[in-house]
Amino acid sequence: MATTIETTETQTSLRAAIEAGSHEIARHFGIHYFGDVNLIHGGFFYDSSNWDDHEYADAVSVDADDGHLFVTAGAVDRYNIDSALKCCGWKRDGNEIVDEHSGDIVADNPATIRLVEIEACKAHSGIESEIVVGENGYEQSSYAFPFVDWTESQFRAFGKIISVDDLDGWIVNRFLRSQFGR
C-alpha cells in the first residue's frame, strides 16, 4: 500500500510541475533547465552530476524552427572548454569565469561554474545525440517533428498529432523519464 501512495504522490507532484512549467519540471527530476519560460521557444534540460568526474552532462534539448519542433536527447561534452567559453564571450580567470570584455564575474563558485560551463559547451557544440535500441532496433535520439500548419499550434510525432499546449507533459513522458531515469 505504501508504494501505491508514494507513486500517487509522485504522479501528483509531477503533474503540478508540468503545469508550473519547465523550471519546476527540472526541479522535480533533480536536474537543471536553461531556456525560455515557454518550452516551445527553446530550452534544454540537463543533469550536471557527471560533469566533474566524467566530463559530460545528459541533456534533452527542445527548439522550434523552420516549421518543425526539434528534440535531441544525448549529452553535452566538456571538450574544448576554453573555445566554448570564448564562444559566449567568457574566459577563465583563476577560479572564476569572467566576461572577456568587461571583466565582470560570470561565475565564481564551483556549482555556478559547472552550470556556466555546461551552457557554454551546449552553445558551442550542441548536444551529441545517441543511437538507442528501441522496439524497432536502433533508433536515433534526435528528431524533427513537423508542425501541422502555419499556426504551429500542433505537431505530428510518432503517428500522433500533439498540441503545443501539451508539449511540457509530452516531453516529460517521451524523453525526460527515459533520459534521466527518475
Q: How many structural domains are present in the chain?
A: 1
Q: pLDDT digits over 10-50, tens only?
A: 667 888 888 888 999 999 999 999 999 889 999 999 999 99
Residue 132's pLDDT is what? 60
Residue 1's pLDDT is what? 43
Residue 9's pLDDT is what? 60
Is this structure's pTM higher than 0.85? Answer: no
Instruction: Tell whether 175 is covered by a domain.
Output: yes
Residue 169's pLDDT is what? 92
Residue 178's pLDDT is what? 84
Residue 167's pLDDT is what? 93
Instruction: Tell whether 1 is covered by a domain.
Output: no
- What's the Cα-to-Cα distance from 158 to each of 77, 140, 142, 143, rounded to whole Å? 28, 13, 13, 10
Residue 17's pLDDT is what? 87
Which residue ranges of the chain lie beneath pLDDT 50? 1-6
Residue 3's pLDDT is what? 42
Instruction: Tell whether 133 is covered by a domain.
Output: yes
Instruction: Tell whether 6 is covered by a domain.
Output: no
Instruction: Tell whether 3 is covered by a domain.
Output: no
Instruction: Tell whether 148 is covered by a domain.
Output: yes
Residue 31's pLDDT is what? 95
Instruction: Tell whether 7 is covered by a domain.
Output: no
Residue 8's pLDDT is what? 60
Domain that holds residue 111: 12-180
